[in-house]
Amino acid sequence: MSKVDLRLLSKIAYMYYNDNMSQHGIAQEINVSRSKISRLLVEAREQGIVQINVSIPVTRCFDLEQQLEEAFGISEAIVAPVYSTKEENILNSLGQAGADYLLNHVREGMTVGFSMGETLKKLTSYLGDEQQIDCEVVPIMGGNWPKMGYGLDANTISQRVAEKLGAKCFPLYAPAIVSNEDLKESILSDLTVQNVFQKSLETDITFISVGVESSSQAHIHLLTDDEKKQSKEANVIGEVAFWFFDSEGRIPDIDIHNRVIGPSIEQISQHSKIVLLSGNSHKKEAIASALAGGWVDTLITDEHVAAYLLRSLKEDGKQQVEPEIELK
C-alpha cells in the first residue's frame, strides 16, 4: 500500500474516531460515497491504523454467584460475564478467572492438582511469572492420548503451571487410559507412578473441567461396544479425567474405569478442595450433574451457564431461585 493510500486511510480514521464526524459527513468532505467510507474504515482496522481496545469494567456477576452458592451449597461461585458469542472468547474469560482464583488461593507448601482440557490450558496462559509460589503441582491422571489436542493433557498443563509459579512439578509418566486392566495394574506397580498417584490423592486444591459424553466427543471412541452399552444404561452424561458420571454426579461401575490411570474425582474430593472450571452452553447439563454429585467445592463458569443452572433448579422444583439473566 502506497503512502498516499495510507495517508487517506489515516485521514478518514481520524475524522471518524477523533473528530466524531459521521460517515456521511466524511463522504461529503472528500467527495466519495458513504459506502466507500465504510469500506475504508474497515481497511484502516485491517492495516492497524485503527486499534480498538475495549475496557470491561464488570468482570464478575456477583448476584448470580450468591444465588449459585445458596442454591447448590457450594463454598464459592465465580461467574464471568459473557460479552461475546464466540466460544473461544468465553474460554478466555474463564481462563482469566481460573488464573486469578489460583493466585488468590494457592499458598506455599500446598499441593495443587490438575485434570485436562482446553479451559485449564487457557488458565495457564493467564498466569504471569511475577508471582512465585513454592508449592507442588501434580496431574491427577496419566498423560496424552492420540485424539487429544496438543497441550491439553494433565501433564503439560501441570508443567506449565509449575513453570509460571516457580513450583515443583511431578509428572505422571503413564498413558491417561490403557487397553486393558492387566496393563493398568502393571503400570501402577511402578514405584514412581505410585508416588505421583498418591500425591494426586493428597492435593489441597484440584482444578478440573468436565467433558461431555456424546457421540460428538472424541473420547467416546475410547469405549468398547460393551462399555458404550454400559454407559448408556448408567445414564452417563459427562466425565472428569476419564471417570464418567451420571446425571446425579455419581460414578457408575462400568468397565472403562478399570483402564484409567488415575484416581476418581470422588476419591480426590475426600481430601482436596475441588474447583470446577468449565463453561459454554454445550457443557451445561454435565456441569449441573457434577454439582449434583456434591464433590464440587468451587464453581467457575460463565453467566449463561449460571442462569441455566439456576433455572433448571427452579423448573425441577428443588429451589425457588430467579436467575438475574436469561440464557440466550
Q: Quote the pLDDT of residue 87.
A: 87
Grid coordinates in use for 121?
A: 490450558
Enumerate the β-bridge partners of residue 208: 276
Nearest 5°: CA angle at 277, between 165 and 98?
A: 35
Grid coordinates in use for 33?
A: 460515497
- The pTM for the full model equals 0.80
Across residues 258-266, what is the average pLDDT? 94
Q: Is the pLDDT of residue 328 over 70?
A: no
d(CA 137, CA 24): 59
Report which of residues 127 and 145 the model is more confident about. 127
Q: Is the pLDDT of residue 7 over 90?
A: no
Q: Quote the pLDDT of residue 312.
A: 87
In terms of DSSP bridges, do strands 136-139 and 236-240 run parallel, antiparallel, or are they unpaired? unpaired
Beta strands in 81-197 (DSSP E): 111-114, 136-139, 168-169
Enumerate the β-bridge partners of residue 276: 208, 299
322 confidence band (pLDDT: 50, 70, 90): very low
State the maximum Cα–Cα separation within the chain, in Å, rounded to a whole number. Answer: 80
> Do residues 321 and 297 touch, judged by C-beta distance below 8 A?
no
Q: Quote the pLDDT of residue 224.
A: 83
Q: Is the pLDDT of residue 41 over 50?
A: yes
- Burial, 21: exposed, middle or buried (Cβ in 10 Å; 0-12, 13-18, 19+)? middle
151-197 per-position pLDDT tens digit? 889 999 999 999 999 999 999 999 988 989 999 999 999 999 999 99
Grid coordinates in use for 32?
A: 466519495
| Closest among 132, 192, 144 to 168, alpha carbons compared | 132
Residues 6+ apart with CB under 8 A from 159: 137, 169, 171
Q: Is the pLDDT of residue 326 over 50?
A: no
- Burial, 256: exposed, middle or buried (Cβ in 10 Å; 0-12, 13-18, 19+)? buried
d(CA 41, CA 192): 60
Across residues 56-79, what is the average pLDDT? 88
216 confidence band (pLDDT: 50, 70, 90): very low
Q: At 175, is the secondary structure helix, strand, or coil?
A: coil
Q: Quote the pLDDT of residue 219.
A: 56
Q: Is the pLDDT of residue 206 over 90?
A: yes
Q: Is the pLDDT of residue 229 over 80?
A: yes
96-129 per-position pLDDT tens digit? 999 999 999 999 999 999 999 999 999 999 998 7
> Do residues 69 and 75 touch, judged by C-beta distance below 8 A?
yes
- Domains of the chain (ranges plus CATH)? 3-46 (1.10.10.60), 62-316 (3.40.50.1360)
Distance of CA 146 to the CA centre of its chain: 21
d(CA 196, CA 171): 7
d(CA 135, CA 52): 39
d(CA 74, CA 279): 17
Q: At 238, is the secondary structure helix, strand, or coil?
A: strand
Q: Quote the pLDDT of residue 6.
A: 85
Backbone φ, ψ for residue 270 (5° rounding):
-65, -25
> Do residues 130 and 157 touch, judged by C-beta distance below 8 A?
no
